[in-house]
Amino acid sequence: MRTSWARLAEAISGCAGCPLCESCTQKVPGQGDPSAPLMLIGEGPGEQEDQSGLAFVGPAGQLLTRMLEAIQLPRERVYICNIVKCRPPNNRTPLPEEAEACAPHLLAQWALVRPRVVLLLGATAVRGVLGENYRITRCRGQWFERRGVPVLATYHPSALLRDPDKKREAWTDLKLVRRMLVELGQYPDLLKEEP
Ligand code: SF4
C-alpha cells in the first residue's frame, strides 16, 4: 500500500528507530512543495532546525535559499529534507546505522514527492543515497541515477560557509541542476533564461 503524507508524518513523529530521538527536541521531517520537481537532501537538523522543527533555517539554510534564488528557484518551489530527521548531539555527523534506520522515511518522502531531479548536499547525503563508498570530493558535479531519477551531489552549504573557496564549484553544480530541470521541461514558468 502506498504511503500518504499523513501516514508518513505520523511515522516520523512516533519514530524511535535510533537513539537520536532521545536527545533531540523534536523531529524535523522536511518541508517544501510536496510534489516539487527538485528535491534536496542534506545531512540532519542543526540547533535552529531542532528548535523550529524546520529543515535548513539556520545560516546554512539561508545560504541555500540564496543559492536557489541564484538559479531562479524560490525555496517554496522545491522540497528539502535530510538523511536523519532528529538532530545528532553537538551536530556530529549521523552514524551509518542512524542513517540506515532513518532511510525508510527518506524513501517514503522520495516516493511521495516523485522528484524529477535530486540534489544531494554534502558527504552524508552522498553516502546515504549513492552508497557508502561514494565520496563528495570525487563525485560532486557528476550525474548519477537512483530510482530512475538523475542525482547530482554538491557541497553542503555549511561547508561553503566554512570554506568560501568552494562556492565557485557549488555554483557550477547548481547550474548543472538548473540545466537538467530545463531539459526535462520542469519549472517552465520560472526557468527561462540562463542566469
Ligand atoms: S533519526 Fe530517524 S530513525 Fe532515528 S529516531 Fe529520528 S526519525 Fe527515527
Render pLDDT for 124-182 as a digit per residue (tens, 0 to 9): 999 999 999 999 999 999 999 999 999 999 999 999 999 999 999 999 999 999 999 99
β-bridge pairing 117-121 and 38-42:
parallel
**Is residue 101 in contact with ligand 1, taking CB distance under 6 Å?**
yes
Q: CA 44 to CA 83: how far, in whole Å?
A: 6
CA dihedral 113, 115, 119, 122 (to 10 degrees): 30
Region class of 181: left (phi > 0), else alpha (psi between -120 and 50), else beta: alpha
What separation in Å is there between the alpha carbon of 29 and the centre of ligand 1?
Answer: 10
What separation in Å is there between the alpha carbon of 103 and the centre of ligand 1?
Answer: 9
Cell numbers linked to 42: 542534506
Cell numbers linked to 164: 568560501
Q: CA 124 to CA 42: how far, in whole Å?
A: 7
**What percent of the chain is modeled with pLDDT above 90?**
96
User: Is the pLDDT confidence value at 1 over 80?
Assistant: no
Q: pLDDT-derived band of residue 3, with 50, 70 and 90 as boundaries?
A: confident
Rounded to 5 degrees, what are φ and ψ at 138?
-90, -35
Residue ranges and CATH numbers for the domains of the chain are 5-183 (3.40.470.10)
Cell numbers linked to 126: 552522498
The predicted structure's pLDDT at residue 110: 98
- Regarding pTM above 0.95, the answer is yes
**Is residue 28 in contact with ligand 1, taking CB distance under 6 Å?**
no
